[in-house]
Amino acid sequence: MIIEVIEQRRNIKEFTEDEISEDSVNYLLNAAIWAPNHRKTEPWRFIVIPKNSKMRIKLANHIKDWNFKNAASKDKKVKIQIAEKEKVKILNAPALIYVYYIQDSNPEVDKENYSAVSCAIQNLMLAAHEIGIGVGWSTGKVCKANVETLIGAEPDWEIAGALFLGKPKIQPEGKRKPINECTIWH
C-alpha cells in the first residue's frame, strides 16, 4: 500500500557501491513528471550527472574548490578536510540528479512552480523506495556551490536540490508526532 511506502521512505545519506541503471533513473524521472502542477506549467528540469563521467569529475572538483574557499574555518587543514569530504561525496554517489524549476516573474506562479517541483521530488523518492533505491535530497553545499553554468542549467532555472541515489547501506527508522499535535479541527 502507498501509505507503507510513504511511512518507510527516508532521506538516505549512505549508499552501497551498487550501480543504478539508466533504466532505473528514467523510471524515477517518469514518476517525478507526474506530480501535480496547478497551471500545468511542468516546471521541473532535471540534470543527470552519470557516475565516472567527465562532468561528474569536473563537478566534484568545482565543489571541492568552492567548499575550500567558503569553509567557515580558517584552519587550512580543516578546510582541506571539508573540501575533500564534499568531493568524495560527489564522486561516490551511484547516481546524481540536480533538480531545478523554471522561475516565473509572477510570485504566485513562482511559488506554485516550486511546490510542483517539490511534489516531483517526492514522487521520485517514493518510486525509488518502492524499487529499493534510496535518495538523499540535499539543498546544502552541493547546491550552494554555483554549479548552474558548469552543468548547463538555464538562467531562469532555480535550484530545488541535488538528489543522491543508490542502494541504502542502512534503512533508518522514521518517527513523527501524532497528527493531533499538528492539526486544528473546527
Residue 184 is assigned to a structural domain of this protein: no
Reading the chain (186 residues) residue by residue, the pLDDT tens digits are 888 988 889 999 999 999 999 999 999 999 999 999 989 999 999 999 999 999 999 999 999 999 999 999 999 999 999 999 999 999 999 999 999 999 999 999 999 999 999 999 999 999 999 999 999 999 999 999 999 999 999 999 999 999 999 999 988 888 899 999 999 999
pTM for this entry: 0.93
Residue 117 is assigned to a structural domain of this protein: yes
Whole-number Å distance between alpha carbons of 106 and 14? 39
What is the residue range of 62's domain? 2-170
Q: Count up the domains in the chain and report the number.
A: 1
136 backbone dihedrals φ, ψ, rounded to 5°: -110, 115
The pLDDT of residue 68 is 96
Closest CA to 95 of 23, 7, 175, 180: 23
Residue 175 is assigned to a structural domain of this protein: no
Whole-number Å distance between alpha carbons of 100 and 114? 9
106: domain CATH number is: 3.40.109.10
- DSSP assignment, residue 15? B
Residue 115 is assigned to a structural domain of this protein: yes
